[in-house]
């Protein structure tokens, strides 16, 4: 494994298993209650969420009448606990990590889709493996119960295989990358920057990526119902600010990468790797995501995600996805 691969920070970790932890309120004690005049929003290390700092620095919040305080969480799971225990007005979290709290009856609503992973997560294989059939019986390294686990399960199912057809090796993402590079495992499911680094090294290539599972890895802005009732105007303004942010990233990616890279302590060149694999959602994409008649909407993709969570005992009960979605703020923002 190259030094550069080992030294790059463990960015972009989003864990499905955290659905089990949302009620513990880990780290919530350190977060003060939201002030009446502001919306307190949790943010973690993922491009679609780090992008909120672009909105902050370019003045998009102020322009749209949104008094927003971004609260950085080095540990993503802590942010889920903070929202679930009412210490935040809203949080940046995945759909999969929202279904667990919904199954427990927590009053949360998805109000915006920031992005879908569209290549940042990938099943990496060596040059000798050219088909899924060749994966049967092979060792595959990944972080158990993480997004990577879900990506592998989806990839195998789409190609006529089951998780039991491969030998899972439970390793952290960095260790999984190292094991793959050194030849200790035949494949690994990783996210960037490891995907890009492995491709550049010539040691492996993606056999399947999150781009091949559209709609199944959505990253959201999720709000407390109480915040929607008491701070609706600010949240609508935040959604408007997002659409300006998406446009800015699309039209000025270099400057956007510079802002985002500084937040996570990376160089703009390193951070630029993440942008192509992140499908930032504009107004049109959000409209489709909140339209239950669309095949890739939040409502329609929820059963597939929930089935994986239930199979691995990561949630208790069946979430009512429709109750966890509020598209009315989006409609207000588009007026």
Percent of the chain with pLDDT over 90: 82
What pLDDT was estimated at residue 15? Answer: 61
What pLDDT was estimated at residue 77? Answer: 87
How, if at all, do strands 278-280 and 187-191 pair?
Answer: unpaired
The answer to whether the peptide bond before residue 193 is cis (omega within 30 degrees of 0) is: yes
Arithmetic mean of pLDDT, 296-321: 93
User: Which are the contacts of 219, defined by CB distance < 8 A and separation ≥ 6?
Assistant: 14, 46, 48, 49, 92, 93, 94, 95, 113, 114, 115, 116, 117
Q: CA 9, CA 76: separation in Å to the nearest integer?
A: 14
- Token pair of 273 as six digits: 């790797």
- Count CB atoms within 10 A of the CB of residue 317: 13
Angle between helices 173-181 and 194-201 (to 10 degrees): 10
How, if at all, do strands 218-224 and 90-94 pair?
Answer: antiparallel
- Kindly report, residue by residue over 32-58, the tens digit of the pLDDT: 444 445 999 999 999 999 999 999 999
Q: CA 103, CA 12: separation in Å to the nearest integer?
A: 25
What pLDDT was estimated at residue 96? Answer: 93
Q: How confident is the model at residue 173 (pLDDT cuts 50, 70, 90)?
A: confident
In the beta sheet, which residues pair with residue 220? 93, 113
What pLDDT was estimated at residue 36? Answer: 46
Asked if the model's pLDDT at residue 24 lies above 70, the reply is no
Backbone angles phi, psi at 319, to 5 degrees: -70, 145
Q: CA 147, CA 198: separation in Å to the nearest integer?
A: 19
CB 252 within 8 A of CB 86: no
- Kindly report, residue by residue over 97-123, the tens digit of the pLDDT: 999 999 999 999 999 999 999 999 999
Q: How confident is the model at residue 16 (pLDDT cuts 50, 70, 90)?
A: low
- Kindly report, residue by residue over 246-281, the tens digit of the pLDDT: 999 999 999 999 999 999 999 999 999 999 999 999
Q: CA 318, CA 139: separation in Å to the nearest integer?
A: 32
CB 100 within 8 A of CB 319: yes
CB 219 within 8 A of CB 29: no
- Kindly report, residue by residue over 189-244, the tens digit of the pLDDT: 999 989 999 999 999 999 999 999 999 999 999 999 999 999 999 999 999 999 99
User: Which are the contacts of 5, defined by CB distance < 8 A and separation ≥ 6?
Assistant: 177, 178, 181, 193, 194, 197, 198, 201
What pLDDT was estimated at residue 316? Answer: 87
- Token pair of 125 as six digits: 């294989």
Asked if the model's pLDDT at residue 72 lies above 50, the reply is yes
CB 117 within 8 A of CB 278: yes
Q: CA 105, CA 256: separation in Å to the nearest integer?
A: 37
Arithmetic mean of pLDDT, 143-168: 95
The H or E element containing residue 217 is none
Report in angstroms the alpha-carbon separations of 38 from 29, 34, 35, 70, 283: 19, 7, 6, 10, 24
């Amino acid at each position: 494994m190259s030094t550069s691969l080992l030294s790059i920070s463990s960015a972009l970790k989003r864990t499905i298993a955290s659905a089990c932890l949302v009620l513990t309120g880990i780290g919530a004690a350190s977060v003060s209650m939201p002030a009446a005049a502001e919306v307190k929003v949790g943010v973690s290390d993922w491009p679609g969420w780090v992008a909120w700092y672009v909105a902050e620095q370019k003045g998009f919040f102020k322009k749209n009448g949104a008094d927003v305080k971004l609260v950085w969480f080095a540990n993503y799971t802590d942010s889920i606990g903070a929202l679930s225990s009412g210490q935040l007005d809203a949080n940046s979290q995945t759909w999969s990590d929202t279904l667990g709290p919904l199954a427990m009856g927590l009053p949360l609503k998805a109000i915006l889709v920031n992005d879908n992973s569209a290549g940042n997560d990938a099943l990496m294989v060596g040059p000798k493996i050219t088909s899924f059939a060749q994966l049967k019986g092979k060792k595959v390294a990944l972080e158990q119960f993480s997004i990577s686990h879900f990506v592998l399960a989806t990839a195998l199912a789409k190609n006529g295989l089951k998780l039991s057809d491969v030998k899972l090796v439970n390793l952290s993402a960095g260790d999984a990358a190292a094991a793959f590079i050194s030849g200790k495992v035949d494949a690994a499911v990783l996210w960037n920057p490891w995907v890009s680094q492995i491709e550049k090294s010539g040691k492996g290539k993606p056999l399947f990526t999150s781009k091949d599972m559209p709609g199944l890895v959505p990253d959201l802005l999720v709000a407390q119902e109480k915040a929607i009732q008491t701070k609706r105007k600010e949240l609508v303004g935040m959604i408007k600010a997002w659409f300006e942010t998406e446009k800015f990233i699309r039209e000025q990616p270099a400057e956007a990468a510079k802002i985002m890279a500084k937040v996570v302590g990376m160089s703009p060149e390193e951070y630029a790797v993440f942008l192509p694999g992140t499908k930032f959602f504009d107004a049109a994409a959000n409209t489709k995501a909140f339209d239950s008649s669309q095949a890739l909407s939040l409502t329609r993709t929820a059963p597939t995600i929930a089935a994986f969570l239930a199979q691995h005992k990561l949630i208790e009960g069946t979430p009512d996805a429709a109750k966890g979605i509020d598209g009315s703020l989006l409609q207000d923002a588009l007026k």
